[in-house]
Amino acid sequence: MVKLFVDSGDKNSLLEQLRSDEVHGATTNPTLMRNGGVTDYQGFACELLSEISDKPISFEVFAETFDEMERQARLIATWGNNVYVKIPVTDVHGESSAELVRRLSEEGVKLNVTAILTADQVRTVARALSRDVPSIISVFAGRIADTGVDPIPIMKESLEICREINPLSELLWASPRETLNITQAEQIGCHIITAQPALVDKYRKMTGMDLTKLSLETVRMFDRDAKAAGFHL
């Protein structure tokens, strides 16, 4: 069964979702945290970790140089045993982070390598990650789909790469756009999918819904909104 992670930069939303048995972990990133109004990165993280210590949570480095990424990664890793450090697959200049990933992973740092969009990137990362330390490989299937490319073949190939090269690495389906993506991730055997709180709630509400009932609810919605708007012809 695919594990459902929540993806957010809002502490209250994260805590609400993480307290549910349906949610198995969390991810965040600087963009989500900025959108959530976070100004104290470490304070935000430590407040969250003080309440959630039994589910994995990923926090991302933010730096232009690998030296600074490494410094931040080592700091973030000290925040809790359930912490995964997110390292982007390249720096801002497009240089691969594989050597940094290899060094940190071999030293026992649990990593979540992120912003991956190609199978070649997955292969490079899987080879760099230690086969003895838990890790996550995050492929942005939603962003792949945004370009008009079907992400399913890439996700299937990525799973095979993980199985062949680094079986301890878990493949994460990132940036889902609809609840169908959760079903798709489950069907192909993806290990994790991370979704923002609104999509998690929508999945809970609508998965398995009777389509005839949903059709009637849709008709009633149109009728209700037309009346509320006071439309006349």
Phi-psi region of 44 (alpha: psi -120 to 50; beta: other; left: phi over 0): alpha
CA–CA separation, 51 and 150 (whole Å): 38
> Catalytic site residue 11?
no
CB 103 within 8 A of CB 85: no
Paired residues of 87 in beta bridges = 113
- Name the E strands within the chain: 3-7, 25-27, 57-60, 83-88, 111-116, 135-139, 169-173, 192-195
Catalytic residue among 3, 11, 86, 110: 86
Going by C-alpha positions, the residue among 135, 148, 140 that lies closest to residue 115 is 140
Provide the 8-state DSSP code for 2. P
Active site residues: 86
